[in-house]
Amino acid sequence: MTRNHLSELTIHEAGERLAAGEFTAVELTEAVIDRIVAVDNDVKAYLTLTPEKALAQAAAADRARRAGRADGESGPLLGIPLAIKDVLCTKGIPTTCGSRILEGFIPPYDATVIVRLKEAGAILLGKTNTDEFAMGSSTENSAYFTTHNPWDLTRVPGGSSGGSAAAVAADECLGALGTDTGGSVRQPAGLCGVVGLKPTYGRVSRYGLIAYASSLDQAGVLTKDVKDAAILLQAIAGHDPCDSTSMDVETPDYLTALDGGVGGVRVGVPREYFVDGMQPEVEAAVRAAVDLLAGLGAEVREVSLPHTEYALPVYYLIAPAEASANLARYDGVRYGLRVDGGGLIDTYKATRGEGFGPEVKRRIMLGTYALSAGYYDAYYLKAQKARTLIRGDFDRAFEQVDVILAPTSPTTAFRIGEKADDPLQMYLMDIFTLSMNLAGTCGLSLPRGFDGAGLHIGLQVMGPAVGEGQVLRVAHAYEQATDWHTQKPPLHEERV
Ligand code: GLN
C-alpha cells in the first residue's frame, strides 16, 4: 500500500494495522503530511501546520507502542494523526479563531480536549480554518482565506468547522475536532460527506475552547465513519473540574453502544423539519433513509417540535448576546493584535476596529443591543423564554422516541460567494441544527448519498441529553447498510 493510501484509512483501520506492526506512526504521519502537501493548496483546510512536532509525537507514539507491547497497553488513538479547529487552545501553537485580532497569540496552555488527545497518544498535525470566532456557515468569514469543499472546489465546505470537515474529507488527517454552537460540526460534516458528532452540552469540557456563546458551545468530532466518531468521543468526553458546566456523570463505552442494530428502536420524524424552500433532493434522501431504517426494524413515527420556527430568531439573539460579552476581552492589551490609537480608549477602538471582521462586528452590535437596558426584556429575556419552550419540545418528543431523524441542512454545498452578502440566507443554513444547541441535546450528521450535482446530503440523527450511545447505534446501523461513507472526492483521482 502506498503512502497516499495510508492517509485514506479510518482511525480504527489504522489503529489495527499499527498494532499489527504493518507500519509505524511515523510512516503514517509522513503519509498524511505528504497528502496535505499534495492537496492543501487547493483545499486550504489548514491555517497552521506543525509537521516537525507531529513527527516527534509520532516517534514518541512508536516508542510507547514498543514499550507497551509487553503489557498489551495501546489505546485506539496511539499514533493517529488528527487536525484541530483553530478555536481550541494548543500550548505553544498559534491559535487565531480565524481572526486578525488573535494574530500572534500563542496559548500558554492546552484545552482539556487537547490534553486528553495527547494523553491518548494522538498526533496533532495542525490547526484548521474556521469562520472568525466560529461565526458562520461556510468558512468565508475567516480573516485568512476560505476553505474549499473537496468534492467541488468551487463550493464551500460549510462552517464554521469547515477546515476540519474538509481535512477529513480530503484525507488530510484521520479525524478532527471541531466546535458546534449552532451546527458548526454537523453542517460542514454534512456538506463534506463525513461524520460529525455534537455531544450533549456539558459532555465534553469547554476549558480552552475559546468562547463564542458559552451556553451553546460544545466541542465535537469529525471522522470518516461512525465507529471513529465513537472512538474520538470516548477520548474527549468526561467531567473536567476546570469547566463548571461539564457534567459529572460517567462516560459510557461508546464502542459497545455501536452494536445491536435498530430492531425496536423508536425513530421520530419531525413534522416541522420538512419545510418549503428546502432542496427537494434533500427531503427525498432523508425520507428514503427513514424507510431504510424501518426496513431494518426501526419503529418510525411522526413527532412534533412545535416551536421550531422560533429557533432561528432565538439563536440569533442569544448567541450574539453571549458573544458580545465574551468578545469584550479582546482589547489590544491582553492578547494578539494591538493597534496603537494614542490613548487607552482609542487603542481599544483602533484594535477592535481593525481586528474584527464584519460578521463579528455585526454580532457584537446585535448582542449589545439585545442586552441593553431598554431592550433586554423585549429581546434577550423573551428569547430565553422561547428557548425553554424549544427545550420542552425535545423533552416531550424524546418521551415518545429514542432518536429523531432530519436533514442536517436544507441544501447541499453552495458556491463560494453565493450567500456571502446575504447574512439571512447564510443563517438559514443552520435551521435544522441550532435547536439542539438551544436544547442542549446531542446529534450527529452522516453521509446520506448525493444530489444530482454529485454533492453530499447530510442525514442528522438527534438524540436526547446524554443520548450519544443511541445516536451512534442508529447512525452505525444506517452506515452499515449503505456505502456513502466509503466514497472519495474526485480530488483523489486527480492527485494520487
Ligand atoms: N452558523 C452558526 C453561527 O454563525 C453556527 C456557528 C457555530 O455552530 N459555531 O452562529
Residues 371 and 468 reside in one and the same domain:
no
Atom of ligand 1 nearest to the CA of 135: 4
pLDDT in tens, 261-280: 999 999 999 999 988 889 99
Q: What's residue 50's pLDDT?
A: 98
CB 319 less than 6 A from any atom of ligand 1: yes
Q: What mean pLDDT do residues 448-477 have?
A: 98
Residues 372 and 299 reside in one and the same domain:
no
By residue range, what is the domain housing residue 255? 3-306+391-495
How many A from CA of 154 to the centre of ligand 1? 22
Q: What's residue 335's pLDDT?
A: 87
Residues 351 and 449 reside in one and the same domain:
no
The residue among 388, 409, 436 that closes a domain is 388
How many A from CA of 414 to the centre of ligand 1? 16
For 96, list phi and psi in degrees, rounded to 5.
-110, -15
Residues 199 and 328 reside in one and the same domain:
no
Q: What's residue 3's pLDDT?
A: 44
Our answer to whether residue 184 is catalytic in this structure is yes
Q: What's residue 360's pLDDT?
A: 98
pLDDT in tens, 181-223: 999 999 999 999 999 999 999 999 999 999 999 999 999 999 9
Atom of ligand 1 nearest to the CA of 315: 10
pLDDT in tens, 425-440: 899 999 999 999 999 9
CB 164 less than 6 A from any atom of ligand 1: no
Q: Is the pLDDT of residue 495 over 80?
A: no
Residues 13 and 159 reside in one and the same domain:
yes
Q: Quote the cell numbers at residue 232.
A: 474520538
CB 101 within 8 A of CB 327: no
Nearest residue to 77 via CA among 197, 156, 173: 173
CB 216 less than 6 A from any atom of ligand 1: no
The residue among 348, 363, 388 that closes a domain is 388
Q: Based on the structure, what is the number of domains in the chain?
A: 2
Q: What angle do CA 272, 158, 316 make, to 5 degrees?
A: 55
Q: What mean pLDDT do residues 56-69 have?
A: 93
Residues 284 and 400 reside in one and the same domain:
yes
What value does the mean pLDDT of the chain take?
95
User: In the chain, pLDDT over 70 holds for what percent of residues?
Assistant: 97
pLDDT in tens, 316-350: 999 999 999 999 999 999 889 999 999 999 999 99
Residue closest via CA to ligand 1's atom 10 equals 135
Q: What's residue 492's pLDDT?
A: 58
Q: Is the pLDDT of residue 351 over 80?
A: yes
Per-residue confidence band for 74, with pLDDT thresholds at 50, 70 and 90: confident
CB 137 less than 6 A from any atom of ligand 1: yes
| Order of all β-strands in the sheet with 46-49 | 46-49, 123-128, 81-85, 175-179, 219-223, 195-198, 442-450, 456-463, 403-407, 266-270, 299-303
Q: Is the pLDDT of residue 301 over 80?
A: yes
Residues 318 and 170 reside in one and the same domain:
no
Among residues 7, 74, 160, 324, the one annotated as catalytic is 160
Best residue among 130, 184, 324, 424 to mutate for probing ligand 1's pocket (most ligand atoms within 8 Å of CB) is 184
Best residue among 161, 186, 212 to mutate for probing ligand 1's pocket (most ligand atoms within 8 Å of CB) is 212
Residues 261 and 120 reside in one and the same domain:
yes
Nearest residue to 187 via CA among 450, 428, 425: 428
Atom of ligand 1 nearest to the CA of 181: 8
Q: What's residue 275's pLDDT?
A: 80
Q: Is the pLDDT of residue 493 over 80?
A: no
CB 360 less than 6 A from any atom of ligand 1: no
Rounded to whole angstroms, how far apart are CA atoms 223 and 196? 7
How many A from CA of 357 to the centre of ligand 1? 15
CB 322 less than 6 A from any atom of ligand 1: no
pLDDT in tens, 366-404: 999 999 989 999 999 999 999 999 999 999 999 999 999
Q: What's residue 496's pLDDT?
A: 41
Place of cell 431504510: 292
Residues 301 and 426 reside in one and the same domain:
yes
Angle formed by the axes of helices 311-326 and 382-400, nearest 10°: 120
Angle formed by the axes of helices 311-326 and 358-371, nearest 10°: 100
How many A from CA of 183 to the centre of ligand 1? 6
Q: Is the pLDDT of residue 476 over 90?
A: yes
How many CA atoms lie within 13 Å of 402's alpha carbon, on the beta-carbon side?
Answer: 17
CB 426 less than 6 A from any atom of ligand 1: no
Residues 63 and 21 reside in one and the same domain:
yes
Residues 326 and 454 reside in one and the same domain:
no
Among residues 44, 85, 224, 419, the one annotated as catalytic is 85
Per-residue confidence band for 310, with pLDDT thresholds at 50, 70 and 90: very high
Our answer to whether residue 99 is catalytic in this structure is no
Q: Which helix (H) or strand (E) holds 145?
A: none
CB 138 less than 6 A from any atom of ligand 1: no
Amino acid at 68: G
Q: Which helix (H) or strand (E) holds 173?
A: none
Best residue among 430, 432, 433, 438 to mutate for probing ligand 1's pocket (most ligand atoms within 8 Å of CB) is 430
Residues 379 and 408 reside in one and the same domain:
no
**Dihedral class, residue 116 (left if φ above 0, else alpha if ψ from -120 to 50, else beta):** alpha
Q: What mean pLDDT do residues 95-104 have?
A: 97
How many A from CA of 221 to the centre of ligand 1? 16
Q: What mean pLDDT do residues 80-85 have?
A: 98
Atom of ligand 1 nearest to the CA of 212: 9
Nearest residue to 89 via CA among 61, 135, 56, 124: 124
* Secondary structure (DSSP) of 411-466: SSPPBTTSSTT-HHHHHGGGTTTHHHHHHT-EEEEEEEEE-TTS-EEEEEEEE-TT
Judged by average pLDDT, the poorest of 70-84, 245-259, 421-435 is 70-84
CB 135 less than 6 A from any atom of ligand 1: yes
Q: What's residue 276's pLDDT?
A: 82
Q: For position 189, which CATH number holds?
A: 3.90.1300.10
CB 430 less than 6 A from any atom of ligand 1: yes
Our answer to whether residue 215 is catalytic in this structure is no
The residue among 331, 360, 388 that closes a domain is 388
Rounded to whole angstroms, how far apart are CA atoms 212 and 221? 18
